[in-house]
Amino acid sequence: MAGTLKLTDIAHSSGAGTITVDSLATLSVSTGKLLVGGSAIEAGSSNILRKTTDYTILEADVSGKSELVIAANAASSNRTITLPAVATTGLANCIVTIICDADATSTYELKIQDIGTTEVWTGFQKGDFVRLVVSNSAWLVVDHKETMFSSRMLTSDFSIAASAQTKPTGYTNVTDIGKVWDNINNKLVSPFAGIWDVNWRLSAATDNGNAPVLFVGGTRVYTAQWSVDAVGYNYGQNMASLRVKVAASTDIEFYSHNGYSGGAYVVYGNGTDETGFDGKFVRTY
């Protein structure tokens, strides 16, 4: 028998417990009329948006949703997505995910900032993303991926004076993602706190005295082992590999040490199989 039941409050008979809808029955609630924690739960708990201009997330984007996904990119210009205030209705129950849907050039970036314009996350390549929740009245990164990578080769041969430890200069770009290379000062610069994975390769003649040296934050952290042959030539290793945890703005610099005291030696350039480096950066929070 159909009928209408008009109530303003429903309480369990014992004051506490579970109120159950019979397994043969269905509870039907009009769209937007079921509230949880003051937020309306609507059909379809995810909200997926695509933005082609700068955008500030609204209360309507998150209220009543379990997740907001925004796809955007910095393929032709810088792009900024601004998060709402952490007290915005609905954020307590909503995960915010922002993803790059196209590659940026080496010039641009997709930046996520809070309502006070403080940077929270920056991405570059298609598939880079950040996943955020509000915790303890602040934005918390729960998962992320960002591509920051630089690969360059020495443009031409570079001479290292006798017994000198010198930083070769003048590189040709092979791959550059994430704006981590300082082309004026010939060094990698850490964009954020994180971990570098770097490889520094020297190419030179067989009897060459040069060997790779790595500096981090202005301090030498690696120098190759030396050996001497029967006629007195010094020989070093031709590759240095290092993983290192750094603070934001820390420099990574590539040097060569000529262990031969009798004269200058050249490291070879102008070829992808000659002197060069690659560096991959992973951000930490």
Show which of 102, 129, 145 is a domain's final residue: 145
pTM for the structure as a whole: 0.79
CATH of the domain at 125: 2.60.120.1230
Rounded Cα–Cα distance for residues 181 and 187 (Å): 6
Give domain status of residue 241, yes or no.
yes
Whether residue 269 sits in one domain with residue 249:
yes
Whether residue 112 sits in one domain with residue 198:
no
Give tens-digit pLDDT for 87-133.
999 999 999 999 999 999 888 999 999 999 999 999 999 999 999 99
Confidence at residue 203, expressed as pLDDT on a 0 to 100 scale: 87
Give tens-digit pLDDT for 4-30.
667 667 776 676 777 777 777 776 766
Rounded Cα–Cα distance for residues 17 and 40 (Å): 23
Whether residue 176 sits in one domain with residue 136:
no
Give domain status of residue 19, yes or no.
no
Show which of 88, 114, 145 is a domain's final residue: 145
Whether residue 277 sits in one domain with residue 156:
yes
Confidence at residue 259, expressed as pLDDT on a 0 to 100 scale: 81
Whether residue 204 sits in one domain with residue 273:
yes
Domain of residue 61, residue span: 35-145
Confidence at residue 231, expressed as pLDDT on a 0 to 100 scale: 56
- Give the CA-trace dihedral at 27, 31, 35, 36, to 10 degrees: 80
- pLDDT < 70 stretches in the chain: 1-5, 7-8, 12-13, 15, 27, 29-44, 206-207, 225-237
Show which of 101, 127, 145 is a domain's final residue: 145
What would the 3-class secondary structure string for 124-176 be? CCCCCEEEEEEECCEEEEEEEECCEEEEEEECCCEEECCCCEECCCCEEEEEE
